Structure 1
Amino acid sequence: MSNLEKTDHDISDYFRSRGFSVQLGSKNPFSRIPVDQTLEETVNRDTQKSGGTKGFSLKPGTVEKYYITAEYRASALRQLRENLSLSNHSKFHHADLHKPRMKIDEECVSSIVQLLENDWTNPFDQSPSDIINLSTGRAAAPDVQTSLLSLKKRGEDAYETFKRDRLERGEGFFDPIKKINLKTFNTTVPLKKSGKNKEIILRADRKLYASMILIAENRHLNMLDVFSHPLGPLPRSLANPDGSIKKTSKTVLGKHLESLISPEDENISSSATIIDGMALIQKLHGENRTFDELSDSILNQILNCGYHSQRIDIVFDTYRDKSIKSAERLSRGSEEEISFKNIKSGHRIIKWRRLLQSNDSKNKLTTFLVESWQEENRRRKIADRTLFATYSGKCIEITASGSHDVEDLASSQEEADTRMMLHIKNAAMEYSNIICVSDDTDVLILALYISSKFRWESNIYIKRGTSGRIRLIDIKKLASAVGSHVTSALPGLHAWTGCDTVSAFSGQGKLKALKLLPTNDEFVSLFSMLGSQFSLSDGDHCKIQKFACQLYSRNIKTENINELRYQMFRSRQGAVESTQLPPCEDCLHQHSLRANYQTAIRKRCLENFPAIPEPEDHGWNLEKDGQLSIKWMRGAPAPEAVLELLSCSCSKLCRLPSCTCMVNQLKCTDACKLATCENMSDPEECREEVYDSYNSCGSDDDEEDDE
């Protein structure tokens, strides 16, 4: 094609005169179509019958005659239709040139131009801010953006190379063409694998756990020492096979506490209402709304929620790059989140739920909302009330007449749960009744804690539930029903048994731990002191082991968690899953460090700028990319004598009797020397085993019902 003008001048001129397409009718503009499509629209269409030509005859001569005469029959049929005015091919009827359609198209084009220029980034600008995926609304990462912007140049360079080497020189014309390998929105980051301590070989394999025990027994190892290791890359009683923390139902504890007293009447005068902002946003349906419409909707809900109150506080979370909340997200891998460089009022929201998965987008959203509420048209809606709104570390007081910063409510606290307590303290100086709107059990626990500890004169209520099923919980009455000694221990017990940042124990629910707590004054004292300091003493860890032993088994009298693991294994004659055993002492210590760290943060909820140490020495690791990951253990996942038998060093072929994996009836893994061999597990089988291991884990509700 490049040399067509020199080799065949007539064909080149024919193509330049638009010979590669056909105009069906002179009175129908903008209707040129490709040659192959023309055949479909003319000859094939006119000869076609209902049901097609398939199977009309099996005689070769008849079929041949049919296709030889097809064009003549089609031409005659076309002329007949035109003579009878049954054909519209020659009439002017192009839909795109009708005035109503032209008006719609103009409006659509104007809307797109306005969207690109004012709300989204303009890809035709000389210096666009971001490249956005139109299907997801997600901004491209810097390396992906650089790759996409170089697409045209790299494509032109590749074409010039192909033209020079293969067309002009005639070298290797039929050789495969190398792929450019551009980074796109679908480019995924490969999972990092670490071979340290041979952890890579300890997969989520149900058979592997039993095999390790068998190897340990055959090697005559000290089984108590064996059970002092988690016997896997993750403590299965605390972690899921994918590395995420085990979850438990916090609402079970909240509902249990609610049931201890009767709810109050909703009509409470002279009150201040404090609202969990992000919980309110999560309940909204923001799809296909503009951010301006979203701002109005949220403000209306806030004012409606506090319609009996003279003061309304809306408290938002602050999202940071380095946060203990992001540790689990790192272990799960990247999410399909949507991030924006700038949020503008006219931008229409697409993929609302994905937007809420991005910490950066949520920070920008809360900033946009608070700033938009300070505009005069929205301030008028507040009327004679006062609105306190937080974003980042600031708090803004907004009234109908104006807005200003409130230094007394500026805070470095990250979670809205703790920052709401700071607003309760501030509102208690002026209002006799304070209503806290949140369904989160964390807020209920913290409200009980501060009410019992500081004994303010103001009445604190927690408003829970949805419309039609709203309950108003009097915190003072609930604290009296629970008891001051248990109330002071609740924050520590709640974090230790599982919260947003600390894993739960497989099969051991919160109610079971709550029932165990008052049976021993030592347990109450332990969890009351948890979080008083950011460090955890050896004596406290011994007490935690004792509580964990009682939580898992009342029958086996031991205060050492490693010994309990071994005794439970023996009592069930080895017929036990790793998820049914408690974590080893090493993993339990790291878990307790995380629970103590989280409790210490929450107990400092009334401080504007609490001094919080870095989490690296408190159950988390700092990765090279600056993100936090959960530190499950300090030591090796299994004794070295066991690990040595779980991988082979075969260099050419895995076969008996040289392959240690096959000798021990184990599948080869990525830790073995060979990259691939016939003894490796099928990936589909591995996925099924992971799925089965999820199903084998008992639920909290089942365990608690057994109690």
Structure 2
Amino acid sequence: MKSMLRTKEVIGTSSTEQNKSSLKAKFESALQTFLEILHNKTSFENIQKHENVEEIYQSIKNEFERLSKYPTAKLWIQYMDMIKILKLFIKAERTGDWFLHLHAVHEMLPFFAATGHNLYLKSAYCYLQQMQTLETEYPDMYSKFCEGYHVVRRSNRYWAGISTDLAIEQTLMRSVKTSGGMTRGKGMTEVQRAKWLLSMPACSGINSAMQTVENLQYTTSEQHKESTKSRQERDNKDVLTILSYLRERNPFSESLDLRNIETGVTATDEVNVHNTELVGEKIIESMKDQDAFSISFKRSMQVKTLNEKTKIRTQGDTLNVSSQLLFQRLITAAKHVTDDVSKIFSYELSNFPSAMFDTSGAMREPQKSNLAEALWAIGDCSAEYETSTTDVQYVLDGGSLLHRIQWPRGVTFGRIADLYVDHVCRKYNTAIVVFDGYGNGPSTKDSTHQRRTKGIVGTKVLFKEDTPFKSKKEQFLGNVENKQNFINLLAERFKSQNIVSHHAESDADVLIVQTAVESAKSTTTVLIGEDTDLLVLLCYHMNSCHHNIIFQSEMKQSTKKFKVWDLKKTKNVLGEEFCKVLPFVHSISGCDTTSRLFGIGKGQAVKKAQTDAYFMECANTFTDTMSKEEVLRIGEEVIVCLYNGVEHEGLDLLRFRKFTSKVMTSSKFVEVHTLPPTSNAAQFHILRAFYQMKVWIGEDVNLNVKDWGWLIDGNMYLPVRSSLPPAPEELLKTIYCRCKCNCDTKRCNCRKHGLECSVACTECRGTTCCNGCTPIYDSESDD
């Protein structure tokens, strides 16, 4: 009953409000009967006969059937079914129910098959076949098993049955290993084992007689140790912890994507772990009329899981290989395949561009705040003005403002909106608030949002001004519809207090800066925000003939990193030419829509723009051009320059040169992510950087985002990583073996090329042969 209540709490229901109220009343009625059982006020049969229990069970069953069309929900329902099977198996063992035992083992078969537990599968399959003939071949044993004698009982309690192997461990093996046992200096020869075993009955009688003499007896309590009050409280606390976790990452959301609820990573179409039972049944069907000793199982028939290791393909075979291992194997194998190793460095030699993407496949997160630090260090950019000045116009970043106010639980949404109004009126004399827009369409910031939220999507809440707020602020704002609806409510409250608010269609950075620049035409303007992007755009868009613009955070003045920027002074310090290319410098070195280049920091990029004339020439040309071919050519030159390469060298040659240099000078092996990206992978990064730069400077009207390094996946924009395979086809064919023996001869493809077997090998997987070895990686990095 408790599990039914918990299940209903997590999955919710799609019924009407009237049906919800009716179902809630039935739950409360059944729960009351359950509590009476716990306090011995009624019998267990009453709950089974309770009129509402069947209706509750049917409601949950119907909800499960409805949710099963959504992959993530289906996966979790499948997990609950597996737990149910395990509970049935334990119940059958504890109670000595023979038929329930066979049923539970039978239900396990598809999961054994689909998940690659082939020995368990064959053993359980043969076991069930033999038990089907038990009644005719061994009727006496069959009748004993039906009476519950397939398990061992050390007491007469209902829940006291244990399996034979566990009984041996608890009795015989315990005696062997404890004081007086054979392992305590008595020896383990055959004679000693026989003497010790034959003496046990006599020792048992002596033990019983000694207990009688000493008036001692061995008794056990009828109460199970897990049913004590303290244990119940601990279990309830653990359940509440799990429920809190699941509320934030609802696995039963109506999403057509299969995702990891912890990391938010979305599975590819090949992943079918939510269909484990169906896959297992197909494998079992293929086992009919097969010899148990000769039958083999193909890994390709098993379920595909959502693995952190990215997949590569060669001639239809799918491999799961870590990037560093793949890189080492390819480099070693290349010496036997080609005379010119430098040519293979035009390929990433890993399953994704490691210089721009981390081990999970996500874009490397840039350190945007380091750009502000680098600019601040160039010269005196600080502003000198009184925060109490009344003759200034304030422009507020609405996204930052949303996170500025704490939301008390239990108060209405209208009251929460009033808290924002009071905050703005109290701190800012005249203010314009600019909000982001959260539509249903994809955005180039989708990857960033997913990384920040770890894929957690809050539950949609239908609320009005008088609706009390009863969840967590982060969870509520994790749903874009909730956030947009609250912004609309907040805008109405601002309007009633003569506070102007603007709303962008998507990201508001450009609109915020445009609003500040427009305001500066008539008066001194103070922009309140936290994002480094705003500083970059202000440096580009602000005109020297305007009134001054002050950029500052709303952080407390006592904070050590608190900075107040005077934009006129900042532009004078940086120079007009530098400010013109600053959006490009920011986007190419990593922002919310582009990845960070491993080993290339913001400070390094700023220094290049200040000191390298060729870099500045390329940056200016890149900013002004609209030709895609020219964008790619100049962008590659810029990245080569950032890696301290030679003009017109090209990334592929630079990549090989960096590799050979590291091999000659480094005391450890070369890590693939420390090398520059290939020309092919870098071109998509360059296109994304160009598109973002054009958005910032307001010249993106005729640009289609899908032509500039992005692809559509569902309702999200995802970055294109590369258009080339990880390595040449002839090289990929040499990196794994199909040996069914011990990989101890030259017939093993890995051994023939001087390579160790790994998880890429189709049979041994690098763990069951004599040619396997687990590589040890150095945790240090150059980043």
Q: TM-score, normalised by structure 2?
A: 0.57
Matched AA of 1:474 = D
* Counterpart-to-counterpart distance in 1, 2:698 and 2:531: 18
Equivalence for 1:582: 676
Q: Which SS does the other structure have where 1:274 is aligned?
A: strand
* Counterpart-to-counterpart distance in 1, 2:724 and 2:347: 8
Distance 1:343-1:696 versus aligned 2 partners, 3 A rule: farther
Equivalence for 1:348: 469
Q: Does the 8 Å CA contact 2:444/2:717 hold for their aligned counterparts?
A: yes
- CA offset at residue 477 of structure 1? 1.4
Equivalence for 1:339: 459
Distance 1:287-1:336 versus aligned 2 partners, 3 A rule: farther
* Counterpart-to-counterpart distance in 2, 1:67 and 1:218: 73
Distance 1:491-1:586 versus aligned 2 partners, 3 A rule: same
Distance 1:340-1:22 versus aligned 2 partners, 3 A rule: closer
Distance 1:467-1:193 versus aligned 2 partners, 3 A rule: closer
Equivalence for 2:729: 640
Is 1:627 the counterpart of 2:716? The answer is yes
- CA offset at residue 287 of structure 1? 6.3
Equivalence for 1:98: none
- CA offset at residue 514 of structure 1? 1.0
Matched AA of 1:442 = D
Is 1:280 the counterpart of 2:371? The answer is no
Q: How do residues 442-457 of structure 1 correspond to structure 2 at under 5 angstroms? A: 442-451=533-542, 454-457=543-546
* Counterpart-to-counterpart distance in 1, 2:323 and 2:357: 14
Equivalence for 2:572: 480
* Counterpart-to-counterpart distance in 2, 1:661 and 1:332: 41
Distance 1:286-1:334 versus aligned 2 partners, 3 A rule: same
Matched AA of 2:566 = D
* Counterpart-to-counterpart distance in 2, 1:139 and 1:486: 49
Equivalence for 2:41: 32
Equivalence for 2:507: 415
- CA offset at residue 219 of structure 1? 1.8
Distance 1:483-1:333 versus aligned 2 partners, 3 A rule: closer
Q: Does the 8 Å CA contact 1:449/1:488 hold for their aligned counterparts?
A: yes
Q: What is the aligned-residue RMSD (CA, Å)? A: 4.2
* Counterpart-to-counterpart distance in 2, 1:303 and 1:20: 54
Q: Does the 8 Å CA contact 1:243/1:332 hold for their aligned counterparts?
A: no
Q: Deviations over 1:415-448 (max 9, x none)?
A: 121110232244345x411110012110001011
Q: Deviations over 1:292-312 (max 9, x none)?
A: 343222222222341xx3343
* Counterpart-to-counterpart distance in 2, 1:251 and 1:532: 27
Q: Which SS does the other structure have where 1:573 is aligned?
A: helix
Q: Tell me which of 495, 511, 519 is aligned to 1:427.
A: 519
Q: Deviations over 1:344-377 (max 9, x none)?
A: 4424242332333333332233223223445xxx
Q: Tell me which of 615, 620, 632 is aligned to 2:705.
A: 615
- CA offset at residue 612 of structure 1? 5.2
Q: Tell me which of 248, 253, 256 is aligned to 1:141.
A: 253
Q: Tell me which of 529, 539, 552 is aligned to 2:643.
A: 552
* Counterpart-to-counterpart distance in 2, 1:448 and 1:331: 28
Q: Which SS does the other structure have where 1:571 is aligned?
A: helix
Q: Which SS does the other structure have where 1:142 is aligned?
A: coil
Q: Which has the higher contact order (CA 8 A, sep 6+)?
A: 1
Q: Tell me which of 303, 313, 322 is aligned to 2:425.
A: 303
Q: How do residues 356-435 of structure 1 correspond to structure 2 at under 5 angstroms? A: 356-374=477-495, 379=496, 382=497, 386-391=498-503, 411-412=504-505, 414-429=506-521, 431-435=522-526
Q: Does the 8 Å CA contact 1:263/1:474 hold for their aligned counterparts?
A: yes
Unpaired runs of 5+ residues, structure 2, are: 1-32, 45-207, 223-243, 257-304
Q: Tell me which of 557, 564, 569 is aligned to 1:468.
A: 557
Matched AA of 2:733 = E
Q: How do residues 678-697 of structure 1 correspond to structure 2 at under 5 angstroms? A: 678-679=767-768, 695-697=779-781
* Counterpart-to-counterpart distance in 1, 2:499 and 2:34: 68
Q: Tell me which of 314, 318, 329 is aligned to 2:438.
A: 318
Equivalence for 2:383: 263
Distance 1:289-1:266 versus aligned 2 partners, 3 A rule: farther
Q: How do residues 73-152 of structure 1 correspond to structure 2 at under 5 angstroms? A: 135-136=247-248, 138=250, 140-142=252-254
- CA offset at residue 31 of structure 1? 7.0
Q: Tell me which of 405, 419, 439 is aligned to 2:530.
A: 439
Q: Does the 8 Å CA contact 2:409/2:469 hold for their aligned counterparts?
A: yes
* Counterpart-to-counterpart distance in 1, 2:520 and 2:351: 49
Equivalence for 1:52: none
Distance 1:459-1:677 versus aligned 2 partners, 3 A rule: closer
* Counterpart-to-counterpart distance in 2, 1:656 and 1:263: 74
Q: Which range is displaced more, 475-484 or 281-290?
A: 281-290
Matched AA of 1:32 = K
Q: Does the 8 Å CA contact 1:565/1:584 hold for their aligned counterparts?
A: yes
* Counterpart-to-counterpart distance in 2, 1:241 and 1:646: 21
Unpaired runs of 5+ residues, structure 1, are: 1-18, 25-29, 36-56, 72-131, 145-187, 392-410, 700-707
* Counterpart-to-counterpart distance in 2, 1:602 and 1:21: 63
Q: Which SS does the other structure have where 1:468 is aligned?
A: coil
Q: Which SS does the other structure have where 1:696 is aligned?
A: coil
Q: Deviations over 1:396-425 (max 9, x none)?
A: xxxxxxxxxxxxxxx53x212111023224
- CA offset at residue 143 of structure 1? 6.9
